[in-house]
Amino acid sequence: MPRKAREYPEEGEFVVATVKNIHPYGAFLKLDEYPGKEGFMHISEVAPTWVKNIRDFVKEGQKIVAKVIRVDPSKGHIDLSLKRVNQQQRKAKLQEYKRAQKAENLLKMAAEKLGKDFETAWREVWVPLEEEYGEVYAAFEDAAQNGMDVLKGLISDDWLRALEPVITSYVEIPRVTIDAEFEITVPKPNGIEIIKEALIRARDRANREKEIEVKFSYQGAPRYRIDITAPDYYKAEEILESIAEEILRVIKEAGGEATLLRKEKRIKKVKRKGE
């Protein structure tokens, strides 16, 4: 299971924990990311309302996201709270946990190629990458998108060679897609042809850039939709501005009008070649 390089969690940190023992006054939980560490959750920290029976909220063996509210390494005490975790925080932590699981599985594959056990892999790869990136899968994403050289100096060349085919085949690269709509009118007999030409020119110019994909679709006169996919939101915004300027220029020269109506962004994953 994923684990942190630190021995103890920090106050305010969200952790994935498994309910171990339940008592009338609270519950003891095993911290999944901190081997050998347990935390205690008082009944008052289970829910924002008064709790009569703690078992109405947690069960033995249940995996939950809890917030660390106190840590005393000298006594080995870790106090946890369930009621201080909202839905968004829970979702974000579980997503982080799943990414750590993916990173662990990929690292095990690379370790097998080198004939090393996971304890060695964890010490030689996991710890330095987590210290540098905050999470290991983020390091793998950086390497997938920008090449293995970004990890040089952090891990040995042997590990770089073992990880490269694994990362190339299995790591997903985050991509941002911006959806926008244009309202375009050209009051001329050949207005549709002028609009089509303007969109094609703008699309083809943007698609020449590395890792940029632009698509137009007809939404019904006078609206046209554009989908821009880029490595990050800022690059997508930059391309949208460039395309909008080109479309506005061409349409204005033709005696028409063009307006950018709206835009929104979403995240999607794009597989690297090899899978």
Asked whether residue 154 is domain-assigned, the answer is yes
Residue that finishes a domain, picked among 84, 104, 128 = 84
| Lowest-confidence pick of 10-24, 38-52, 92-106, 176-190 | 176-190
Residues 153 and 240 in one domain: no
Residues 52 and 117 in one domain: no
Asked whether residue 94 is domain-assigned, the answer is yes
Residue that finishes a domain, picked among 27, 59, 84 = 84
The CATH number of whichever domain residue 48 belongs to comes to 2.40.50.140
Residue that finishes a domain, picked among 147, 170, 193 = 170
Asked whether residue 115 is domain-assigned, the answer is yes
Residues 179 and 247 in one domain: yes
Mean pLDDT of 232-256: 86
Mean pLDDT of 218-237: 84
The CATH number of whichever domain residue 119 belongs to comes to 1.10.150.190
Please give the pLDDT value at position 263: 60
Asked whether residue 3 is domain-assigned, the answer is no
Residues 166 and 179 in one domain: no
Q: Which of the pair, 154 or 238, is modelled with greater confidence?
A: 154
Asked whether residue 4 is domain-assigned, the answer is no
Mean pLDDT of 205-230: 83
Alpha-carbon distance values, 232 to 172, 178, 239, 257 (Å) = 14, 10, 11, 30
The answer to whether residue 140 scores a pLDDT higher than 90 is yes
d(CA 25, CA 56): 13
Mean pLDDT of 218-232: 85
Closest by CA position to 173, among listed 92, 274, 33, 265: 274
Residues 203 and 256 in one domain: yes
The answer to whether residue 271 scores a pLDDT higher than 60 is no
Strands 38-42 and 257-271: unpaired
Q: Which of the pair, 51 or 266, is modelled with greater confidence?
A: 51
Please give the pLDDT value at position 269: 46
The CATH number of whichever domain residue 228 belongs to comes to 3.30.70.1130
Please give the pLDDT value at position 272: 44
Mean pLDDT of 104-114: 97
Question: How many structural domains compose the chain?
Answer: 3
Residues 185 and 254 in one domain: yes
Residues 181 and 264 in one domain: yes
Residues 93 and 162 in one domain: yes
List strands edge to edge, sheet with 213-220.
Answer: 213-220, 223-230, 172-185, 257-271
Mean pLDDT of 59-71: 98
Asked whether residue 120 is domain-assigned, the answer is yes
Asked whether residue 8 is domain-assigned, the answer is no
Structural domain for 141, as ranges? 88-170
Hey, is 72 helix, strand or coil? strand
Asked whether residue 216 is domain-assigned, the answer is yes
Please give the pLDDT value at position 270: 46
Residues 117 and 65 in one domain: no
Kindly report the average pLDDT of the chain as a whole number: 89
- Determine the Cα angle at 273 with ends 105 and 110, to 5°: 30
pLDDT confidence bin for 274, thresholds 50/70/90? very low
Q: Specify whether the CB–CB gap between 213 and 243 falls below 8 A.
A: no
d(CA 30, CA 26): 14
The pTM of this model reads 0.65
Residues 265 and 181 in one domain: yes
Mean pLDDT of 129-141: 93
Please give the pLDDT value at position 266: 52
